Amino acid sequence: MVMLSRYIRLISKFFLRDNYIISAAAGLGFCSALAVTNKMENSLTMGVGVVFVTCVSFCLIYPFKKLIIASGTHHKITLLMIIISVFVTIFSLIVQATIPRIALNIKAYIDLITTNCIVLAVIAEGLTLGFWDAQKKILKACLGYSIALIFLALMREPLGFGTLLNFRILPESFPVVVLMITPVGGFFALALWRFMLRPLFIKTGVVYQENVLQEKEEATDAETPMKKKEARI
């Protein structure tokens, strides 16, 4: 039981700590997360795409990291997007050739992986780290993003369509929640997941990013009167 609890704690920290969708306040990657998660098949495809594109792109980018860093911020983003777009196109063509039905639904969002802020952020940060440390961080961020998509789809597809992976799991008489089909429903699903997972976050030591920021602000506010008092003395 102790070992099981330990594994749950480790897994929770790996996938949920600093998760850009579920537990972080950064607001990165929300656009695609809210748009594609009304169906589980869309979420799985998008998750695989982000993991593939980010990891493979970084392998090509890393050997030229000194050149890319030296090019300056604006040129760096442009160069990263050009390289990322190559692998996005490859993944998009693979999806269109193998699962055209899903490609028809989310092709626009697959193409937007090029400008996905999570992808750009973790690759840019990875350029300041060693290769394997960077790949570990990239994999953690992308798998966390994929897990978040799956969580949202687990709630939205059954409530919106009464199905999961196109298999009916709720009776046809069950009233569907039309709101969950729309992108707006993603906000409600995200709020519900955060509410339900909060006890797990607290128990496993996964701290919300907004709480960390609040603690820093409180510490700063507490120091300010003392500094003023010392200045008067």
pLDDT in tens, 112-163: 888 888 888 889 888 888 889 889 888 888 888 898 899 899 989 998 888 8
Give me the number of domains the chain comprises.
1
Asked whether residue 9 is domain-assigned, the answer is: no
Question: CA-CA distance, 182 to 128, in Å (whole number)?
Answer: 39
Distance CA 62, CA 203 (A): 37
In a domain, 5, yes or no: no
Residue 11 confidence (pLDDT): 66
68 belongs to a structural domain: yes
Which has the closest alpha carbon to 87: 60, 125, 64?
A: 60
User: HSE (CB half, 13 Å, CA atoms) of 122?
Assistant: 34
Residue 7, in any domain of the structure: no
What's the CA gap between 112 and 115, in Å, rounded? 5
The answer to whether residue 86 scores a pLDDT higher than 90 is yes
Q: Average pLDDT for residues 6-18, to the nearest whole number? A: 66
Q: Token match 């700063």: residue? A: 220
Residue 106 lies in a domain: yes
Flag whether 43 is in a domain. yes
Please tell me the distance from the alpha carbon of residue 189 to that of residue 155, in angstroms, as a whole number: 7
Q: Could you tell me how many residues make up the chain?
A: 233
Q: So what's the pLDDT on residue 106?
A: 87
In a domain, 90, yes or no: yes
Is residue 168 domain-resident? yes
> For the segment 189-211, what is each residue's pLDDT rounded down to a tens digit?
888 888 887 776 666 555 554 45
100 sits in which H/E element: helix 100-111
Range of the domain at 115: 14-232
